[in-house]
Amino acid sequence: MMEPTSRSETNWTFLTNHAHVLICLADGRFETLREVSLRVGITERAVQRIVSDLEAGGVISRTRDGRRNRYEVNPSIALRHDLEAHKTVGDLMKMVANHSEAPSANSGEGRPSQVTSG
């Protein structure tokens, strides 16, 4: 019988990079898209493309605030795949929320997250 591999030996995850970027934006702890890219483990350019996808899909809205962008997550948007379309972005955010800390800065309630792009 084979022993299970450790988490560090695998190279796949259950959630996509789009979900990982969304989680980081909703969290509000990351000041720049570069920080988001380092946390997710993808290039800053890939994060910018994902942010554009999320914005085009209505999942996030972006407003300019000086040199910063503010991102607000729309928790009522349905997830995109047929297998999960009965759930919303808000459901996903609740599922991955760190319950040991205070609610995130933008879990669908309260102030939007601020992230600098560029």
74-105 pLDDT, tens digit per residue, is 999 999 999 999 999 999 999 998 754 544 44
72 - beta bridge partners?
A: 61
> What's the domain range around 64?
14-115
Structure confidence at residue 69 as a pLDDT band (50, 70, 90): confident
**Does residue 64 fall inside a structural domain?**
yes
Contact (CB, 8 A) for 42 and 17: yes
**Is residue 30, in this structure, part of any structural domain at all?**
yes
With a CB cutoff of 8 Å and minimum separation 6, the contacts of 86 are 78
Residue located via tokens 């760190």 = 98
pLDDT score of 108 more than 80: no
Within a domain: 23: yes
Give the helix/strand (H/E) hosting 40. Answer: helix 33-40
Q: How confident is the model at residue 7 (pLDDT cuts 50, 70, 90)?
A: low
pLDDT value for 4: 57
Number of domains the chain is built from = 1
- Please give the DSSP secondary-structure letter assigned to residue 114: E
- Neighbouring residues of 46: CB distance < 8 A, sequence distance ≥ 6: 17, 37
Could you tell me the pTM of the whole model?
Answer: 0.76
